[in-house]
């Protein structure tokens, strides 16, 4: 364990020296591959971000402002989505709810998981490894997804004639491209993005930790939260959407239109909770890099 940490620090330091992302694996092998996912480190840099949620200005629906953002630190995130095999270890260990799965899909992304399941997995692997694992925020996900993140600004409803925007949104949603395959595919099928992450925007959408927010935009451009619903979380993938946290199998039907996420899965952020000594080393390394 300690050895693994040391290796990780060394690699982290190496990565810090380089502006490009670096993939390392494995991060911390404990017993029977409880955490055999490769981790990718992506150095912080500015990126364009449009907040998730519903926005209004003067009582009318408004588009969320597109802003230049920068995360407070680098992002360490699983290179690929958590697989069925990895999830099964958590189930066998009593840490995760059992979900139905086909045995031939063991090395493919686990799907049919709710936010609650994904969170249970994060807690379990955190306890198992001593390294904090958690779902990314929507902002972190968009940053990590890079050019594969979709900034889909849908038409806004005019309260005087809500039907026009409604029809336009319906058409935009109906025009979304359906994934070619419905079943989860082998890791890497949907390609690698410029940050080195596999299968972003493929046929498995990923849970984030970001709650659904309703926000009022003030004249100054500042956003004021008027309602927070953490029973609904942002889901990211080929398009951004919102899902109730216990949903495992997204579908439209009834009044909803368009293409729902084909599958719900996840990948985790790995926040190193290192012993104080190593944390200091890392901070020094970060500061050094900031000066470069």
Partner 1 sequence: MITRRTAFLGAAVAALVATAPALAADDLKLPRQAIELVAPPFVHQHEQATKEGPKIIEFKLTIREKEVVIDDAGTKFQAMTFNGSMPAPMMVVHEGDYVEVTLVNPEANTMPHNVDFHSATGGLGGGALTHVNPGEQVVLRWKATRTGTFVYHCAPEGMIPWHVVSGMHGTVMVLPRDGLKNREGKPLRYDRVYYIGENDLYVPKDANGKYKSYDTPGEAFADTTEVMRKLIPTHVVFNGKVGALTGKNAMTAKVGETVMIVHSQANRDTRPHLIGGHGDYVWETGKFINPPEKDLETWFIRGGSAGAALYTFRQPGIYAYVNHNLIEAVELGASAHFKVEGEWNNDLMKQVKPPGPILPGKSSAADAVVQTR
Nearer to partner 1, 76 or 239 (CB): 239
Contact between 98 and partner 1 per CB under 8 A: no
Q: Which of the stretches 57-65, 122-130, 144-152, 284-292 binds partner 1 when contact is defined by CB under 8 A?
A: 57-65
Residues 40, 21 contacting (CB under 8 angstroms)? yes
In the block, which residue shows the tokens 């408004």? 62
CB of 265 to partner 1, least distance (A): 16
Q: Which of 3, 68, 72, 163 binds partner 1 (CB under 8 A)?
A: 163
CB 28 within 8 A of CB 1: yes
The Cα–Cα gap between 11 and 27 comes to: 10
Please choose, from the candidates 92, 87, 187, the residue with its C-alpha nearest in 3D space to the C-alpha of residue 133. 87
> Least distance from C-beta 229 to partner 1, angstroms?
11
| H-type alpha helices, the chain | 2-17, 84-92, 115-129, 138-145, 162-174, 276-291
Does position 173 interact with partner 1 (CB under 8 A)? The reply is yes
Interface segment toward partner 1; rule CB under 8 A; list 16-24, 77-85, 147-155, 166-174: 166-174
Site map (CB under 8 A) of partner 1, residues 16-35, x = contact = --------------------
Candidate list 20, 66, 182, 273; residue touching partner 1; CB under 8 A: 182
Whether the bond into 4 is cis, omega within 30 of 0: no
Q: Is 100 in the site for partner 1 (CB under 8 A)?
A: yes
Interaction with partner 1 in 247-266: which residues (CB under 8 A)?
Answer: 251-255, 257-259, 262
- Beta strands 132-134 and 205-217, pairing class: unpaired
Burial of 211 (0-12, 13-18, 19+ CB in 10 A): buried
Residues that bind partner 1 in the complex, under the rule CB under 8 A:
54, 56, 59-61, 100, 102-103, 159-164, 166-167, 170-171, 173-175, 178, 181-182, 214, 226-227, 251-255, 257-259, 262
């Amino acid at each position: 364990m300690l050895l693994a940490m040391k290796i990780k620090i060394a690699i982290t330091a190496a990565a810090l020296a380089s502006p490009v992302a670096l993939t390392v694996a494995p991060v911390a092998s404990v017993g029977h591959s409880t955490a055999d996912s490769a981790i990718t480190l992506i150095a912080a840099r500015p990126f364009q971000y449009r907040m998730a949620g519903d926005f209004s200005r003067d009582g009318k629906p408004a588009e969320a402002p597109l802003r230049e953002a920068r995360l407070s630190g680098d992002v360490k995130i699983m290179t690929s989505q958590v697989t069925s095999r990895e999830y099964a270890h958590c189930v066998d260990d009593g840490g995760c709810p059992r979900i139905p799965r086909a045995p031939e899909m063991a090395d493919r992304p686990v799907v049919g998981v709710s936010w609650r399941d994904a969170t249970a997995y994060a807690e379990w692997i955190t306890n198992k490894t001593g390294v904090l694992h958690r779902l990314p925020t929507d902002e972190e996900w968009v940053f990590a997804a890079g050019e594969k993140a979709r900034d889909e600004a849908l038409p806004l409803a005019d309260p005087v004639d809500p039907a026009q925007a409604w029809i336009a949104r319906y058409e935009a949603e109906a025009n979304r491209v359906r994934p070619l395959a419905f079943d989860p595919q082998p890791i890497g099928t949907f390609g690698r993005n410029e940050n080195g992450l596999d299968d972003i925007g493929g046929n498995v959408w990923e849970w984030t930790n970001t709650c659904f927010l309703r926000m009022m935009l003030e004249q100054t451009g500042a956003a004021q939260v008027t309602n927070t619903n953490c029973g609904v979380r942002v889901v990211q993938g080929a398009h951004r959407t919102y899902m109730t946290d216990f949903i495992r199998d997204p579908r439209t039907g009834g009044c909803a239109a368009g293409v729902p996420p084909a599958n719900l899965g996840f990948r985790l952020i790995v926040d190193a909770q290192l012993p104080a000594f190593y944390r200091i080393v890392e901070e020094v390394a970060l500061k050094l890099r900031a000066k470069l």
